[in-house]
A and B are shown apart, each in its own frame.
Chain A
Amino acid sequence: MATYQEFIQQNEDRDGVRFSWNLWPSSRLEATRLVVPVSCLFTPLKERLDLPPVQYEPVLCGRATCRAVLNPLCQVDFRAKIWACNFCFQRNPFPPTYAGISDVNQPAELMPQFSTIEYIVQRGPPTPLIFLYVVDICLEEEDLQALKESLQMSLSLLPPNALVGLITFGRMVQVHELSCEGIAKSYVFRGTKDLSAKQIQEMLGLIKPTVAGPQGHPVAPQDAHTSCRFLQPVQKVDMNLTDLLGELQRDPWPVAQGKRPLRSTGIALSIAVGLLEGTFPNTGARVMLFTGGPPTQGPGMVVGDELKTPIRSWHDIQKDNARHLKKATKYYEALANRAAVNGHCIDIYACSLDQTGLLEMKCCSNLTGGHIVMGDSFNTSLFKQTFQRVFSKDFNNEFRMAFGATMEVKTSRELKVSGAIGPCVSLNSKGPCVSENEMGIGGTSQWKICGMNPSTTLALYFEVVNQHNAPIPQGGRGAIQFVTQYQHSNTQRRIRVTTIARNWADAQSQIQHIEASFDQEASAVLMARLGVFRAESEEGPDVLRWLDRQLIRLFMFHLRRSPFLQVFNNSPDESSYYRHHFIRQDLTQSLIMVQPILYSYSFYGPPEPVLLDSSSILADRILLMDTFFQLVIYHGETIAQWRKAGYQDMPEYENFKQLLHAPLDDAQEILQTRFPMPRYIDTEHGGSQARFLLSKVNPSQTHNNLYAWGQESGAPILTDDVSLQVFMDHLKKLAVSSAA
């Protein structure tokens, strides 16, 4: 297996691909028997330090329905200067520029190590990145102040030529004009009235029947950028904008006792989308929504402004008692789709102790590849650092973000693509390689991902369509090509092409090989995505039942317990938030989300991973749990007492001090790299925050069986949930009974 492990690792490192099966069953029938479909996790923009982009256009297959990119798997006749497409077998002549190729002079795309290659192409004038801040001003003074500072700080992080815009909202929505001097100008919209994109653009004076620009600003037709007074280069307006942000006041409209502030989030987003739609379609743009509470008026309203009406809970939703849910969801979906069509992505930064309506708004980010960050307050390092991390740069000193990507999947004839799950929308591109069976977002071979970063990972599901009676010749390989076009953060248009191939295997004769090629981790995540995808669109219990049916042979205990499928104890917003991240993170992170990692620190040795089980909770240990969203440091009872007693400050107990520091340092490491920054929790035995840990561990010891296990170690968990032991028992029983 080691070879497979290496193979898998190598593939992941080079191509950003993890397949559930690394040998593919050669017929449809066999494939369906495998339960876990042929599928993969693909990270299109995986960071490759060793991959310098080439500065020319890819060579495409000449068949109109194929258009596959020349790749190392193609057969090449160097003499005839002809290459054969490995997907459609079309023979294509090389373009004139390739006249000089030969066996010894091959272009990069033909070399096996360049199964993933990136092209830089020239497509029209470079378009600057656009950052449009949409800021809620119905915040507490403290929050608003913190947010203002973050925003001001962010200006310095933006590329100097990026265009920036500002929309603020509360009861009204204000679109600020940034180019003016003297009087600060803004366009105001009432927060209750939905407007079409055209209306918005008219009202903003962006389109006019006459040649004259609004307010006499001449419109230079060839350069739409200058015509838009609302989006201006950072370098030009950063002083203005800094002042403007500095002068932002809380929404002045009075909020009566017992009312929520009126928040026109829906309209604000609609205006942001409309503004970009009219001015910069198909240009990389980020709408960054900062909100501190639920939308309370107008379209997209999530809850009324009466405080006595609480915001919907899962309970309400299940009882069909959430009045605004469907309408709001539909509204935001429509918005998200519009944004997606134009290649704009929407981030949501929601900081509030209560829910902010992420459930309804999540699609804005999910469909456009935007971020969702949820926090308690803008005045927390969680938000501040996370936000800062949005603008982090890679080793090339370029932003880790890409815009307006389209990813196309091409398959060899025996395979068809069933669908994708990730922060993408379908481009509805029908083609020969599109399966009729949909899994996730299907029915297309192209998807649009408006916002990406190097870790954005899609799950792609395939269907083997080769019939059982048409065997594939021995040694046949199936191939898949991913063509991802995107706008790089430096405004270049780039195309990254990844071509992979796997051997076909006859399930009957080579079943053990196939089994050996199984990638448990990838499969777990891939199935989890499917589960989450279904959970999003179907009723909770049904999904669990489906999962149980599907995964009867899989280790999915923690997934069942995860917040991605369980909504108990989570608000709808939290669930949305967790799910959002689950469907876009790469495999490692996804695994952490499914099964949190638990490290134990003690005097008895180096830190070791321990079972995520209540039995791991011991008095003389420090535990570090990473659930992706939370980092919990838990001090066992004794450790906590020692710490309280202050032993760590005594020179003679230096070792204790080091022990205490060890998990902190490790946590720090995680904190510094992860996006979004996890909630950091430092707690101890009996502490209220210990619940974060207790809720995750396998309740092997509960009040029901505390004495049955009879061991000294561990801490009992007061829960009725079944423990892994019980789960496994059931599973075994079921496996046996259904094995027939």
Chain B
Amino acid sequence: MNVNQQPHIATPYGQPPLQGYQVYGQPGYGGPHATPYGPYNGHNAAYQQDAPPQPPGYPPYSSFPSKTFAAGLSSDLSSSSSFGLGPGRVPPSSGTPPVSAPGYDQYPQGEVQNGPALIASQPPRPPASQAYAQVPVTLPATQPLYHQQYQAPPTSTQQVTNQMAGMQIGTAPSQAGPYAPPTSSHLPSSTAFPTPGNPSYTSQAVPPSQPPPNVGVQQGPHPPTYGGPPHVPQQPFPGSALPPVSQQSFPTAPTPSTQASLGAPPLPQPYGGGPPVSAHSQFPGSLPPHQAAVSQPSPYRSAPPPTGFTPSGGAPAPARPTPGMHGPPFPPQSVSAPPGPQPNHIGAPPMQLGVPAGPPTGPLPQQNGAFGQMRGPQPGYGAPYPGQPNFGSQPQAPAPAPPAQKRLDPNSIPSPIQVIEDDKASKSGEVFMTGVRGQAPPLVTTPFQVKDQGNASPHFIRCTAYNMPCTSDMAKQSQVPLAAIIKPLATLPENEGPLPIVDHGESGPIRCNRCKAYMCPYMQFIEGGRRFQCAFCSCVTEVPPHYFQHLDHTGKRVDCYERPELSLGSYEFLATVEYCKNNQLPQPPAFIFLIDVSYNAVRSGMVAVVCEELRTLLDTLPSEPGTDCPIRVGFVTYNKVLHFYNVKSSLAQPQMLVVSDVADMFVPLLDGFLVTVGESRTVINSLLQQIPEMFADTRETETVFGPVIQAGLEALKAADCAGRLFIFHSTLPIAEAPGKLKNREDKKLVGTDKEKSLFQPQVSFYGNLAKECVAQGCCVDLFLFPNQYVDVTTLGAVPCSTGGSVYKYAHFQAQTDRDRFLNDLRRDVKKQMGFDAIMRVRTSTGIRATDFFGSFYMSNTTDVELAGLDCDKTITVEFRHDDKLCEDTGALLQCAVLYTSCRGQRRLRIHNLAVNCCSQLAELYRHCETDALVNFFAKYAYRSVLSSPTKTVRDSLVNQCAQILACYRKNCASPSSAGQLILPECMKLLPVYLNCVLKSEVLQPGGDASLDDRAYLRQLVSCMDVAESHAFFYPRLLPLHKLDVEGRALPTAVRDSEERLSRDGLYLLENGLSLFLWVGVAAPPDLLRSVFDVSAFSEINPNMTSLPTLDNPFSKRLHEIIEMFREQRSRYMKLMVVKQEDRLEPLFKHFLVEDKSSNGGASYVDFLCHMHKEIRQLLS
């Protein structure tokens, strides 16, 4: 049900917002649902009809929506939470509202209005579902109530959204009450309802089937969202939308407080709407969700019953503040409910209570994210399902959760898409000025320009928190990790680079005497400019005479704007000979290509592809503008033995030198192994031509690996330079040699305490080898072409410690995977890199960099050593307090990277960043960046699997996030019912993202992810930047059928849930590693023709890896988009066409991260409920 509806809705509305609304709008549910469901439709119609009339009334709704926003903001959702039922509803409301205030218009109308209206009306009419339809009007009224509740949250729309609570709340309370009973009966709430309700509602008995309605109710709300169409009529509401708009303003208004106030107002309106109705509507809505498709009609009817229930729910609600909402109608139900409900109540009651509180949450406003889960969850979660327990803090634990999930309206929970779109709307196109300390930059998904005014660009550094707690106590209390995600050599947009290079002359860069911090804008010049005080350690250092400059009246150096190191956040110093190994200026680096020529490698075509590509690729080695490429290259092939090649320019033919003594690797030649491409071009070409021929008939299947790296390392040592090894490898190295591996892929270990051993290298050999590589500045890039297990963990150990990359092309076939591999290779080879790098992060006294994540090696606790550092590699640094920070000075970071450029110049790249410090937790929570947090958490967790079972890792991750959110709830949110889930505005997506991390293949074994895949991803994530990790964990899903062929804009992405996919749609999904083109079975022939050049769905070749280039605007635009996506990512994404209901679809579904995953990962809704439970436990 929802599915269909959702898509619609989603698209039409900024789904997120809508959702939020929906939540609130549980009433809305009715509405939306209506559309989806026949009956609903009826209702919708009714609503719609109502709507028009309602407009006035709706306005309130609209306001609700707005409120919802508000709610979101204020977390009023809590109020929504009151909706309880609404776990779905409430949350939605909260969620939705915030999301897209704009969208709201429509959505709100549709959903909210519908929902509430329906409910409202319904309650009265409880018995007749149809009645609901009519009810709408009344519903609105009820909705208002919700809204009010929501509204509070709405204040901060987003918050509201966050406030899943709303969802839960809404549903929970109102519905819950009613549902609860049913819920107890199980989702079949309908049944349950019937039973309980039956008495009262005989007709409802019918509903029993409807019980689903309960669910449906929640769903109901969804429907609205989905029910886009129905909404359409509602669109009229747009007018109502206006209110939302205002709400939007609210949102803007600091979610918290303002929201509250905002919320308040809207709420009233909602009230006008007739809260009870909403409750009803919710029910119906909820019903549909589950039953949705199955028996929409019945659902409708059932819906009525539900409504009836709702009433009952309402009843409880009434009892509570919400009364208005559910109260009326439900009373009876509630009565009935008790029996069944009780369990629900157990959970639900509190919930509901919470719900009522919800409104209060409104007051809480500050916390945007408050979800009325309490109610919602309880009702939705617990109540409906025995699972209630889940929701019900205690009882929840059990199964309930899942059911609950189903009930929670996804539309009502915080939507990543909405957040992204909001950020885009508000910040894209702006120039981000880095001059202001402690301001959080736009999201990574938002295109923006940066003006360096003394702090490093977010392209280089992003922080989890831009307002750090002053004391370690605060930090501990909040549990918010303080980390910086640093990408020192990031490629800047063309209009922002390159960094200026500063030469301080023979004495080298000017530094603080004590802490050795480099000259930066934070240094304070004193005594007329003769000395400067270090901003990091406060030590005073003499200014060398050649650097002296007078100060102006403000104490600034007169030349401060002429000197990058005094005015910019990022710049480079030329290093002197003291900064070089052995006090000798470095040689230009060398690239060595080591190619596996064993049977598998040859047969897959890899050898031929590599050799052919290298012939042209060698012309594009990185060089600095205006200089010849000084990089020398060398070639090695290997199977069980290694073949070195002498490609000296004076030779007529290359010479092959075979080294069979792999036990004790050495480089057999010096002269002629490393050559410059220019000089030896002919010989190299001849070699590359002959390699595939020479080994064409090979029957050698065994390979070595350790000696291969040793060979490269020894060659670099012999040449006394740093460099990169490109290893093209195909199989598990089982030949007798150092670093020999055995197949240890043991599925039985997965999920046990011993699983961690699978993530640890099999032998210590590679660890030691990595150490040597780092010492020499030998960066290893590994391209794997496995047909079976190759132990990526172990093979990747050296690349991962040397700043290299691992690329994996399972079951490589030249024809199909060639593009992907070659593009990766080209990009990898051409990358701008620093060699033999050392990174040091200095900080203000008070904090200290304590932990580092990424591809590097550390021989002590402070210096990050990187044999190579490329423009994509990111290092995440965690900071901890070792003293107090001062609010006045803030916290300063200086990241200095000493490296050798590709032409052999030794340089220092400096990035400076100042962030604020706070003594109030609220400040901290206001300036966090969820994407960065997730990046940190993922890296942290991925490293933890080395030492702990995955389950422990997952639990501790959940626990830490729960603590973060609980701390917020406890210390920053305005008081509200415990049943309400309140999330900080800037962290409202934390649960959804966290869930994505938790269910990622690394942390959640199962499904068809091989051990190698997991190890590969684990290593891959460890050096991702925020943008990559964001896309990786929450893939971008574009509805292509909504593509505006003419415009430049991309269609608004949709949430990663199957429910959002329309059978007649075409979607493009990308996660930074793969591209999927999903084709619905009902995709219109025109569309198919313009994309695939086929006329029917069945004619699409599911094996295609590239789309035909067709002469039509759509196809062209699609190609453009695909190209653009590929360019944005550091790895080439192979395109896979997924036909709906075809064999590849399960694979594709894996990326629909809001859904339950095949490996046991929870759906977003379920997880949210679980989080809520956790938080509640912490709070109680």
Q: Is A183 a contact partner of B690 (Cβ separation < 8 A)?
A: yes
Asked if A413 is at the interface (CB within 8 A of a chain B CB), the reply is no
Give per-residue flags for B693-711: 1 if the beta carbon is below 8 A from chain A beta carbons, else 0: 0110111100000000000
Question: When the two chains form their complex, are residues B659 and A188 in contact, meaning their CB atoms are under 8 A apart?
Answer: yes
Bound Cα distance A252, B667 (Å): 12
- Given that A189-B661, A195-B661, A252-B672 are contacting pairs, would A183 and B655 also be in contact in the complex, using a CB cutoff of 8 Å? yes
**Candidates B645, B657, B661, B695; contact of A215 at CB < 8 Å:** B695
Cβ–Cβ contact A174 & B668, under 8 A: yes
Are A186 and B690 closer than 8 Å at their CB atoms? no
- Assess the B669–A185 pair: CB atoms within 8 A: no
Contacts of A212 in B (CB 8 A): 699-700
Closest B residue to A172 using CB positions: B668
Separation of A247 and B646 alpha carbons in the complex (Å): 12
CB-defined interface of B659-674 with A at 8 Å, one 1/0 digit per residue?
1110010101111100
Q: Which residue of A lies closest to B736 (CB)?
A: A202
B residues within 8 A CB of A177?
658
B668 partner, pick from A188, A210, A247, beta carbons under 8 A: A188
Cβ of A204 under 8 Å from chain B: yes
CB < 8 Å: which of A185, A202, A203, A253 contacts B656?
A: A185
User: Per-residue 0/1 for B1103-1141: is the Cβ within 8 Å of any A Cβ (1 yes, 0 no)?
Assistant: 000000000000000000000000000000000000000
Rounded to whole angstroms, the CA-CA distance of A252 and B672 in the bound complex is 9
Interface pair A190/B664, CB less than 8 Å apart: yes
Interchain nearest-CB distance for B916 vs A (Å): 58
Count of residues in B whose CB is under 8 Å from the partner chain: 30
Q: Tell me if B654 counts as interface (CB < 8 A to partner A).
A: yes
Q: Are A190 and B666 in contact (CB under 8 A)?
A: yes
Chain B: minimal CB distance from A569 (Å): 41
B856 nearest CB across to chain A (Å): 32
Q: How would residues 181 to 212 of chain A score, 1 for a CB under 8 Å from any chain B CB and 0 otherwise?
A: 01111111110010100000011110000101
The residue in chain A whose Cβ has the minimal distance to the Cβ of B696 is A216
Choice from B651, B690, B695, B698 contacting A247 with Cβ under 8 Å = B651
Q: What 0/1 pattern do residues 495 to 526 of A give for CB contact below 8 A with B?
A: 00000000000000000000000000000000
Question: With contacts A205-B660, A216-B698, A253-B670 known, is A185 near B655, CB below 8 A?
Answer: yes
With a cutoff of 8 Å between Cβ atoms, the chain B residues found around residue A187 in the complex are: 657-660
Quick one: which of A183, A203, A249, A254 contacts B660, CB cutoff 8 A? A203
A180 to B656, CA, bound (A): 10
Taking CB atoms, residues of chain B closer than 8 Å to A172 are 666, 668-669
CB contacts between A and B, total, < 8 Å:
80
Name the contact of A204 in the complex, choosing from B660, B668, B671, B699 (C-beta under 8 A): B660
Distance (Å) between the CB of B239 and the closest chain A CB? 80
Picked from B644, B645, B670, B700, the residue with its CB within 8 Å of the CB of A252 is: B670
CA distance A249 to B651 in the complex (A): 11
> Does the CB pair A183–B698 fall under 8 Å?
no
Chain A proximity mask over B931-966: 1 for CB below 8 Å, otherwise 0: 000000000000000000000000000000000000
Query: A188 to chain B: which residues have CB within 8 Å?
Result: 644, 657-659, 668-669
Q: Roughly how many angstroms separate A186 CA and B659 CA in the complex, as a whole number? A: 9
Question: How far does the Cβ of A44 sit from chain B's closest Cβ, in whole Å?
Answer: 41
Q: Which of B659, B661, B666, B687 contacts A183 (CB 8 A)?
A: B687
B649 on interface, CB distance cutoff 8 Å: no
> Is B732 among interface residues, defined by CB-CB distance under 8 A?
no
Tell me whether B798 is interfacial, beta carbon within 8 Å: no
Chain A residues within 8 Å of B645, by CB: 183
- From the candidates A184, A203, A216, A247, name the one contacting B641 in the complex (CB within 8 A): A203
Tell me the bound Cα distance from A185 to B658 in angstroms: 7
Q: Are the CB atoms of A183 and B654 closer together than 8 Å?
A: yes
**B653 close to chain A: CB less than 8 A:** yes
Q: How far is the CB of B459 from chain A (nearest CB, A)?
A: 45
Q: Which residues of B contact A183 (CB under 8 A)?
A: 645, 653-656, 687, 690, 694
Kindly report which residue of chain A lies nearest to residue B646, judged by CB atoms. A184
When distances are taken between beta carbons in the complex, the residues of chain A under 8 Å from B669 are: 172, 188, 252
- Scoring A186, A247, A254 by chain B CB atoms within 10 A of each residue's CB, the highest score goes to A186
Closest A residue to B672 by CB, please name it: A252
Q: A174: which of B657, B666, B694, B695 is its contact (CB, 8 Å)?
A: B657
Whether A184 lies near B699 (C-beta < 8 A) is no
**B657 and A186 form a contact (CB under 8 A):** yes
- The answer to whether residues A186 and B641 also contact, given A193-B664, A252-B670 and a CB cut-off of 8 A, is no
* Complex interface: chain B residues within 8 A of A216 (CB): 695, 697-699
| Cα of A252 to Cα of B650 in the assembled complex, Å | 14
A182 B653 Cβ-Cβ under 8 A: yes
Once the chains are docked, how many angstroms separate the CA of A205 from the CA of B700? Answer: 11
Task: Kindly provide the distance from the CB of A288 to the nearest chain B CB, expressed in whole angstroms.
Answer: 23
Query: What residues on B are CB-neighbors of A202 within 8 Å?
Result: 660
- Nearest-neighbour CB distance to chain A for B1002, whole angstroms, equals 39
B655–A215 CB distance below 8 A: no
Q: How far is the CB of A272 from chain B (nearest CB, A)?
A: 16
Contacts of B700 in A (CB 8 A): 212, 214-215
Chain B residue contacts of A193, Cβ below 8 A: 661, 664
Q: Interface code A253-286, partner B: CB below 8 Å = 1, 0 otherwise?
A: 1100000000000000000000000000000000
Decide yes or no: A182 and B690 within 8 Å by CB, A216-B699, A252-B671, A253-B670 being known contacts. Answer: yes
Q: How far is the CA of A66 from the CA of B666 in the complex (A)?
A: 56
Query: What residues on B are CB-neighbors of A214 within 8 Å?
Result: 700
Question: In the docked arrangement, what's the CA distance between A212 and B687, Å?
Answer: 25
Expressed in whole angstroms, the Cα–Cα distance for A195 and B661 within the complex equals 9
CB distance from A218 to the nearest CB of B (A): 9
Write the chain A residue with the least CB distance to B671: A252
Least CB distance, A686 to chain B, in whole angstroms = 49
Are B656 and A186 in contact (CB-based, < 8 A)? yes
Closest CB-CB distance, B721 to chain A, in whole Å? Answer: 15
| A326 CB, nearest partner CB in chain B, Å | 25
Minimum CB distance partner of B659 in chain A: A188
Contacting residue for A184 out of B655, B661, B668, B671, CB 8 A? B655
**A186: which B residues are within 8 A, CB to CB?**
655-658
- Residues 318-356 of A, flagged 1 when their CB comes within 8 A of B and 0 if not, give 000000000000000000000000000000000000000
Nearest chain B CB to A194 CB, angstrom units: 11
Q: Tell me the bound Cα distance from A254 to B643 in angstroms.
A: 22
How far apart sit A119 and B283, CA to CA, in the bound complex (Å)?
A: 115
A172, B659: Cα distance in complex, Å: 10
Residues of A within 8 A of B690 (CB): 182-183
Chain B residues with Cβ below 8 Å from A254 are 670
Residues of A close to B687: CB separation below 8 A: 183
| A174→B661 CA distance, assembly (Å) | 12
Task: Name A202's closest neighbour in chain B (CB-CB).
Answer: B660
B698 touches A184 (CB 8 A): no
**Closest 6 CB pairs between A and B?**
A203-B660, A188-B668, A216-B697, A252-B671, A212-B699, A187-B658
Given A183-B690, A216-B695, A216-B698, 20 more contacts at CB 8 Å?
Answer: A172-B666, A182-B653, A182-B686, A183-B656, A184-B655, A185-B655, A185-B658, A186-B657, A187-B657, A188-B669, A190-B668, A193-B661, A193-B664, A203-B641, A203-B660, A203-B661, A204-B660, A210-B699, A216-B699, A247-B651
Can you list 26 A-B contacts (CB < 8 A)?
A: A172-B669, A177-B658, A182-B686, A183-B654, A183-B687, A184-B654, A185-B643, A185-B657, A185-B658, A186-B658, A187-B658, A188-B644, A188-B658, A188-B668, A189-B660, A190-B661, A204-B660, A205-B641, A205-B660, A210-B699, A212-B699, A212-B700, A215-B698, A216-B695, A247-B651, A249-B671
